[in-house]
Amino acid sequence: MSADNHSSEAHDAHHDADHGAHDGHDHGSFKTYMIGFVLSVILTAIPFGLVMTGVLPTQATALIVMGLAVVQIVVHMIYFLHMNTKSEGGWTMLALIFTIIVVVIALSGSLWVMYHLNTNMMPTHEMSGMG
């Protein structure tokens, strides 16, 4: 066996082991990371500009900021966490859906409780005039 043959076999073995370690998952390229980075910067700069300039009413600004935050979460999941329906046999997507359901239940329940506590527990103006 010559030195060239041995180095070629070692390279092939290393190449095969490298692909086996990834289990066929795509870990992104420089291009996809840059796309994700540029989208993240844009999705951060737009709400920052809206808040700093105050060109829109407060409620509209808040809705736009929240909407762009959701879009940014999706960008991060796709471009940086490499989540898709095929990774881990679909289990990561199932875990994400379960997490979203739990968060929605917790947030909506908390808002419902706080609203009803505010409505039912805060003194009204008529009561303050009685004393």
**pTM metric for this prediction:** 0.59
Per-residue confidence band for 52, with pLDDT thresholds at 50, 70 and 90:
very high
* 67-76 pLDDT tens trace: 999 899 989 9
Domain ranges of the chain: 26-82, 86-123
3-state helix, strand, coil split of the chain in percent (to 5) is 80, 0, 20
Q: In which residue are the tokens 């009204």 written?
A: 124
Position 22 pLDDT exceeds 60: no
> Over 70: is that where the pLDDT of 14 sits?
no
- 48 closest CA partner among 27, 32, 64, 26: 64
User: What string of DSSP letters covers 89-114?
Assistant: GGHHHHHHHHHHHHHHHHHHHHHHHH
